[in-house]
Amino acid sequence: QVQLVESGGGLVQPGGSLRLSCAASGSIFSLDGMSWYRQAPGRERERVAEFSNGGYSMYADSVKGRFTISGDNTKSTVYLQMNSLKSEDTAVYYCYYRMWMRDYWGQGTQVTVSS
């Protein structure tokens, strides 16, 4: 069993920054594959970034160069540093992990980019 708890969302002005955290607990063996998704009102959930311990993290085209995913294995936590935020980044951000053919989701954290 895996539990994921996100934090760090909030209201920020366009061009600002936020850092999201996803703390994992339970039977986590590796942070590899832990991902951030987001869902804006009226839109489908989309993958934003996926963490790789080996340095091969992936990003959606819409966030490349602005978002950075990182992980701290000692804390079982994955971070999403979001810079140069735009209004279109407004969404609920979810942490996701798949293990032993089961999908685990966090409860989500709201990010609102507005002036």
Per-residue pLDDT 10s for the chain (115 aa) are: 899 999 999 999 999 999 999 999 988 888 999 999 999 999 999 999 999 988 899 999 999 999 999 999 999 999 999 999 999 999 999 999 998 899 999 999 999 999 9
Structure tokens, 20: 């999201």
Q: Contact, 78 vs 22, CB < 8 A?
A: yes
> Which residues have a Cβ under 8 Å from the Cβ of 47 and sit 6 or more positions away?
35, 36, 37, 60, 96
How many angstroms separate the CA atoms of 8 and 59, rounded?
19
| Nearest partner of 103 among 20, 33, 21, judged by Cα | 33
Q: Are 71 and 77 in contact (CB under 8 A)?
A: yes
